[in-house]
Amino acid sequence: MNGSSRQFSRRMQLVYAGQFLAIGTYMPFMPLWLSERGLSAVQIGLVLTVPMLARTFLAPVIAYAADRCGERIRALAALSILSALATGTLFLGSGFAAILAAFAGLALFWCALMPLAEAAAMHGARSRGLDYGRMRLWGSASFIAANLGAGVLVDQVSADAAVGLIAVSFMLTGWFAFGLPQPRGKAGAIAGPFSGADLALLLRPAFLAAIAIASLLNASHMLIYGFGTLHWQGLGHSSLLIGCLWATGVIAEIALFAFSSKVVARTGAWALLMVAALAATLRWVAMAFDPPLEMLFALQVLHGLTFGATHLGIVNLVADAVPSELGGTAQSLMYSVSSLVGALSTLAAGALYGAYGAGAFWAMAAIALGALVLVLAPLGRRAR
């Protein structure tokens, strides 16, 4: 590995670490912060859908503009800094309407960060001979640190500390992204206008089927993402213990990412999606029975498959499907569809959790089962 490739790998690891420090704080503790502001379960569900809707409708436009200009890295850095500033606006108002408006501003800048990072990482991995999973696992490790660190902060200070940590995380991400070396190989500006051939690449049935499967699997996680912390807190678990539960799942995810190149080479991306669908169905059925703490930790280990295998499968399928100069656009399309389905699932999760508690996991199991059916359907078999 030469010096430029080593620098790219290290900087990309830091970019992932910064992003997932924000996500690892946001996911478990933002619902808690919203609850402390007096929002109901349905209102929390509505607020949490705003970033998902932004990823659906705005991220493809922003990512395509970055691809078009060949400025994927600068866009990643600038949007990270703007996300940090927008996070600070959450402290400026109170009440559902003000919080919803602040989230809309945050979502505008946050929505394209992950697609741009994934596109940069996948292009860097393939053009420089790097291991994508070895870069991506630093994001997962940072997620664990955020789960545990934010849990301590929330216990010792308040949920406001978690929001402050999210802002700092975005600022760090921007700083790290500014230091990324420019891409090697042809991943610069798109030559010519968006063409019918480009559209045909992005709308092939097998490609869209893969995105639909991954979207359903990610949507099946929305109940635990949005209300897992609140539910476990209601069972009497401390914020630190809840952070340990979240961390357990991500440790399993890291273990998969550490060997990702070998796993993908041996099993193939479609097989990973099938395993993820089976594991997700099992996980959510078990969660519906409100299992004891010991089993909760065991079920969290399945996150390595329900999320990790889904992620590895879909990012490799997307990277294989389109040329590198359309990488940001293709990744954002995947995130767009996933976010729309996830937003609908989050809205449903808020209503179902308010009415049925842990029984709402039956709906998540049904979504995962739908993904499994698509994997095994004729279109899925032809795509494989």
Higher pLDDT: 4 or 180? It is: 180
Higher pLDDT: 76 or 321? It is: 76
Give the pLDDT confidence of 200-247 residue by residue, as tens digits.
666 677 778 888 899 999 999 999 988 998 899 888 888 778 878 988
Q: Tell me, what's the pLDDT at 71?
A: 77
Supply the mean pLDDT for the chain: 85
Which is it for the CA torsion 251, 256, 259, 260, positive or negative? negative
Percent of the chain having pLDDT more than 90?
39
Q: By C-alpha distance, which of 306, 302, 242, 17 is closest to 145? A: 17
Q: Tell me, what's the pLDDT at 379?
A: 54
- The alpha-carbon radius of gyration of the chain (Å, integer) is 19
* CB atoms closer than 10 angstroms to residue 191: 9
- Spacing of C-alpha 352 from chain mean position: 23
Q: Tell me, what's the pLDDT at 191?
A: 47
Span of 65-69, 158-162, 166-170, 229-233 with lowest mean pLDDT: 65-69
CA distance 202 to 109: 24
Residue 14 has pLDDT above 90, yes or no: yes
Give the pLDDT confidence of 36-54 residue by residue, as tens digits.
999 988 899 889 888 888 8
> Span 128-156, mean pLDDT?
85
Q: Tell me, what's the pLDDT at 186?
A: 47
Higher pLDDT: 261 or 14? It is: 14
* CB atoms closer than 10 angstroms to residue 369: 17
Q: Tell me, what's the pLDDT at 184?
A: 53
Residue 356 pLDDT class (50, 70, 90 cuts): very high
Q: Tell me, what's the pLDDT at 105?
A: 93
* CB atoms closer than 10 angstroms to residue 67: 27
CA distance 325 to 331: 11
Q: Is 67 in contact with 371 (CB distance < 8 Å)?
A: no
Residue 85 has pLDDT above 90, yes or no: yes
Residue 161 pLDDT class (50, 70, 90 cuts): very high
Query: Model's pTM, two decimal places?
Result: 0.74
CA distance 150 to 172: 16
Residue 190 has pLDDT above 70, yes or no: no
Give the pLDDT confidence of 294-307 residue by residue, as tens digits.
999 999 999 999 99
* CB atoms closer than 10 angstroms to residue 33: 22
- Residue ranges and CATH numbers for the domains of the chain are 3-180+196-383 (1.20.1250.20)
